[in-house]
């Protein structure tokens, strides 16, 4: 097993008016390349905080997050941005597509930031949209797409720069059961094609589709179960 991600003794405290809130309390976790991990637990247990630290959106108060040997917690803003651009793909609960861009332009945005030439990113965006089943919707704006379609565009966007890791925060949270099932199937296909996925979810169906389920409570891992190899 090749370790892709190694989080060691992660603490994340938030300074509040009265007292500090300890969102993570010495959490450690390793994730192998090609794995599909669901992080579950009650609201406020620190799932999203962990995801933010793994994706270099936030810095731990203490501890290290090594991805392919690099401690992303120590990166400055410029390096962390470059890391997010090339090594991580984010999928959000509310899709967060840019409303003024078409589906194709949304997918192409991270590639444009990475300096991919126009024609190459256009071709890659079309290819990714076809991959998520939206070949005919490339020119549609987000407002012209259903929730499930928007989430598929967001997944295509996450894949744009061929990241090593996909981090998804409640990707089915805004979708009905049928559309959620389509997204779950898409994640399974992605993982089967070799993409490492870490997903934070309250959705039991989504969690059950993962290979490994990590359960959190009060900022710590309380259970870690492998469902399938």
Which residues bind to another protein, rule: CB under 8 A? 48-49, 52, 55, 57-58, 77-78, 81-82, 84-86, 88-90, 92-94, 96, 98-101, 105, 108-110, 112-114, 157-158, 161
Compare residues 57 and 164 and give the one whose CB is closer to another protein: 57
Based on CB atoms, which residue is closest to another protein, 79 or 208?
A: 79
Give the CB-side neighbour count of residue 23, counting CA atoms within 13 A. Answer: 20
CB of 228 to another protein, least distance (A): 30
Asked if 160 contacts 125 with a C-beta cutoff of 8 angstroms, the reply is yes
Residues paired with residue 20 on neighbouring β-strands, in sequence order: 15
d(CA 21, CA 29): 21
Minimum Å distance from CB 88 to another protein?
Answer: 8
Least distance in angstroms from the C-beta of 165 to another protein? 13
CB of 187 to another protein, least distance (A): 18
Closest CA to 36 of 212, 229, 158: 212
Q: Which residue has the tokens 């389920």?
A: 213
Report in angstroms the alpha-carbon separations of 201 from 40, 45, 47: 6, 12, 8
Q: Give whichever of 126 and 157 is closer to another protein, judged by the CB atom.
A: 157
Q: Which of 37, 91 has the CB closer to another protein?
A: 91
Count of all residues that appear for the chain in the document: 229
Output 53 or 210, the one with its CB closest to another protein. 53
The region, left, alpha or beta by phi > 0 then psi within -120 to 50, assigned to residue 146 is beta
CB of 19 to another protein, least distance (A): 18
């Amino acid at each position: 097993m090749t370790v892709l991600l190694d989080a060691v003794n992660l603490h994340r405290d938030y300074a509040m008016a009265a007292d500090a809130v300890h969102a993570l309390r010495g959490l450690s976790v390793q994730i192998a390349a090609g794995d599909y991990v669901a992080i579950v637990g009650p609201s406020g247990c620190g799932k999203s905080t962990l995801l933010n630290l793994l994706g270099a959106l936030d810095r731990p108060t203490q501890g290290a997050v090594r991805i392919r040997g690099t401690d992303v917690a120590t990166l400055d803003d410029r390096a962390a941005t470059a890391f997010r651009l090339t090594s991580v793909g984010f999928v959000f609960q509310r899709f967060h597509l840019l409303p003024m861009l078409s589906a194709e332009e949304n997918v192409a945005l991270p590639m444009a930031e990475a300096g991919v030439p126009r024609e190459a990113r256009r071709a890659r965006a079309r290819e990714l949209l076809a991959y998520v089943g939206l070949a005919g919707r490339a020119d549609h704006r987000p407002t012209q797409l259903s929730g499930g379609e928007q989430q598929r565009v967001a997944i295509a966007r996450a894949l744009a720069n061929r990241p090593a890791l996909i981090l998804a925060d409640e990707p089915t949270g805004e979708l009905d059961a049928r559309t959620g099932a389509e997204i779950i199937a898409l994640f399974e296909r992605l993982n089967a094609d070799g993409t490492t996925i870490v997903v934070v979810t309250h959705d039991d169906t989504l969690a059950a589709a993962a290979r490994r389920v990590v359960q959190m409570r009060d900022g710590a891992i309380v259970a870690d179960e492998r469902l399938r190899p």
